[in-house]
Copies of this chain bind each other. A is one copy, B any other.
Amino acid sequence: MPMKLYTSSVAPNPRRVAIFLAEKNIDVPIVEIDLAKSENLDADFVAKNPLGRVPILELDDGTYLAESMAICRYFEEIQPEPPLLGTDARDKAMVEMWNRRMEFEIMGNVTGCFRHSHPYWEGRIEQVADYGDLCRRNIEERMTWLDGELADRDYIAGDRFTVADMTAVSAFDLGKIAKIRIPETLVNLTQWYQRVSERPSVAATSPTRKRD
């Protein structure tokens, strides 16, 4: 069986995998799952991932691998160049730290705000409006922190584009739907966002890109 990626071209976590594959110039056959039609909850999809989440990678041996970062790690292991999860022990750990920080501080709050405040999720999940508000306030604080961190470097984990940038840009682009914007006063963060958004891998996977 050839490898196959079940994914959604509009959701932020699958986008991390799409950027990762583009940076590595790896081409994997795609099966598009329509989240708006809840195709991720269909019986045949749930048989592949009981948690009903995209993306999942079907390996050559028929194993289904879920979780965006697990899929990224698989590709990093089978094709290390260019390194997107770090180089030596220290750098791998620093990239992991920054990616985790982007997941918890940025993506987690953006997702929490989107899921608990946006009409898209009405009836799909149990929304807690006060939690959405809390996440919105958290993200404003975290953006200020991140802006300070970016004062001395071009990318989140250092001088190289890594998975930490993929996580953050995917989160900020999702945030637009929930009216979360990077304030222009945060100059370092604004410049980082522009720099990263211009990369071909990021531009080609933007949720607002022109479709063919």
Interface residues of A (CB under 8 A from B): 50-51, 59, 61, 63, 65-67, 69-71, 73-74, 77-78, 88-90, 92-94, 96-97, 100-101, 105, 126, 128, 130-131, 134, 145, 149
Distance of A61 Cα from B51 Cα, bound (Å): 42
Contact B74 A78 (CB under 8 A): no
Protomer copies: 2
CB distance from A116 to the nearest CB of B (A): 8
Contact B126 A134 (CB under 8 A): yes
Contact B97 A67 (CB under 8 A): yes
Contact B59 A90 (CB under 8 A): yes
Task: Given A69-B100, A100-B69, A130-B128, decide whether A77 and B51 contact each other with a Cβ distance below 8 A.
Answer: no
Contact for A50 among B88, B94, B130, B145, CB less than 8 A? B145
- Please name 6 pairs of A and B residues whose Cβ atoms are closer than 8 Å in the assembled complex, sorted by A: A65-B94, A74-B89, A77-B88, A77-B89, A128-B130, A131-B131
